[in-house]
Amino acid sequence: MKFFLITDNVDTLMGMRLVGIEGVVLHDRSKVLMELERILHDESIGILMITTKLVELCPDVISELKLRRAKPLIVEIPDRHGGDNIGASIDEYVSEAIGVKL
């Protein structure tokens, strides 16, 4: 089972490639949806990482996939265009996951 990245940023892709994660750089909704369709048919991909900016292009589709499909696990990741307070975002994610405010 492998990871795959869909990003809007070449720097994010290069960083992930350094740790062995392949991916694609896309910028518009139609191409993101086509790539999602391809990934859903690839049984070897277990975890799909997608940058926040691209999730915002098709939130309805991403939400539906997260709710309806067990595989691949879809993980939204911030990139360099993300908010200034990444630490607060991580605290919020952890708090929601464990039900305890940090």
- Helices 59-68 and 29-40: crossing angle in degrees, nearest 10, is 10
45-51: strand order across its sheet: 22-25, 2-7, 45-51, 73-77
pLDDT at residue 78, rounded to an integer: 81
H or E element at residue 15 = helix 10-18
Report the CATH number that the domain containing residue 25 is assigned in CATH.
Answer: 3.40.50.10580
pLDDT digits 0-9 by tens, 23-71? 999 999 999 999 999 999 999 999 999 998 999 999 999 989 988 988 9
pLDDT at residue 57, rounded to an integer: 93
pLDDT at residue 73, rounded to an integer: 92
Per-residue pLDDT at 96 exceeds 60: yes
Contact 50, 60 (CB under 8 A): no
Q: Which domain holds residue 25?
A: 2-98
- What's the structural domain count of the chain? 1
Q: Considering the chain, what percentage of its residues have pLDDT values greater than 90?
A: 59
Closest CA to 73 of 45, 38, 32, 44: 45
Which comes out higher in pLDDT, residue 82 or 65?
65
From first CA to last CA, the distance across the chain in angstroms is 33
